[in-house]
Every structure is written in C-alpha cells, then in structure tokens.
Amino acid sequence: MENRIAAVDALVDNATCVVSASDAVILEIVAKAVHSGMSATFYVSRSQASAINAWYWRPELRKRLCVEDLSPEELSRIEVELDLKDAIQFANRIPCHKCGHVYGAFEFLQQGLSEHGRAAVEAVLGMKNASLIRVNPSEVPVCPNCGEDVIDPTQRRPIDGHYYGSTGPYGGCCRPE
C-alpha cells in the first residue's frame, strides 16, 4: 500500500492524475471523454482496455471506418523496416487528399517514431500491465510522400481520421463517432 502511494505520488503532476475506481466507472469516464471531443491519454489496465475496446470497436463501427486487422505483409514490413513488433493489430488505410499515397499502420508508426523518438515508442510497447488509450488525439496524420496533412481539414470525408488499435500495450485511439 505504501509503495503504491509512493508510486502515485511520483506520477501526479499538472497534466496527470491517478484515478482509482471500478472497471465500469473507468469505462464510463473514458466514454464521456470520447464523446466530449476533448483530448486525453489514459493508461489503463489490460482488462480495462479490453472493456474499452469492446465498447468502442463494435463490428459496425470497424466496418464503417474500414478498420481491418493488419495483413501479415504489413506486420512483417513494420517489423523489418521499423523494427517494431506487435505494435498495432488493426487500423484503417486512408488516401492522402493531395497525392493519393495511402496512410496506414506503417505510416502511422513511422510518424510516431519520427515525432516521439524510438525510446518513447519502445517504452510504450514495453509496458507489461498498462495499455495506452488515446482519446481524441490532436496529432494529425502527415503524408510521408508529399509532406502534407493526409486529411484536408476544410473537407469532411466519410472517414475523417486514421484509426488504429490493439489489445496490447498500445490500446489505440477513440474519437466521437
């Protein structure tokens, strides 16, 4: 108990709090954050992440957002070219509005490595107990081919974002539907 409080004390600062509640309450808090449109990052337990994924990733939503399990080819390309294993299990693929280059899980992880650095990405993927859930992430996908934002912010399209997730340490993202 004392160790737990010391760990909490070390974590809490201006941008971070630690919440203790039942899995159902945590899910409710995350769901409210998703619907509010506000950005937040949740570090939840694997069982909480499973509950959040099950709540958010209904088959109908996966279908609507064209979110599919990564192909063995893409997983192997991520492993060989980016040296990342089991980072993401499912994602959608969206064409760049400027040049048509397709932005998927590979491009997303490539952008993450360049923006946050390998150490940060590997630290997340090395988490043994926690899953990181991004709610309404503010980062925008950038096309590696032409350098422009993949999505034209002035034009709403049927699928207006890059979506991804997994049941591992990188739980993925949720936005209002």
Q: Tell me which residues touch Zn ion (CB under 5 A).
A: 96, 98-99, 101, 143, 145-146
Q: How far is the CB of 101 from Zn ion (least distance, A)?
A: 5
Q: Are strands 170-174 and 130-135 parallel, antiparallel or unpaired?
A: parallel
Q: How far is the CB of 150 from Zn ion (least distance, A)?
A: 7
- Give whichever of 52 and 143 is closer to Zn ion, judged by the CB atom: 143
- Give whichever of 6 and 99 is closer to Zn ion, judged by the CB atom: 99
Q: How far is the CB of 96 from Zn ion (least distance, A)?
A: 3
- Give whichever of 124 and 151 is closer to Zn ion, judged by the CB atom: 151
Closest CA to 82 of 58, 129, 114, 48: 114
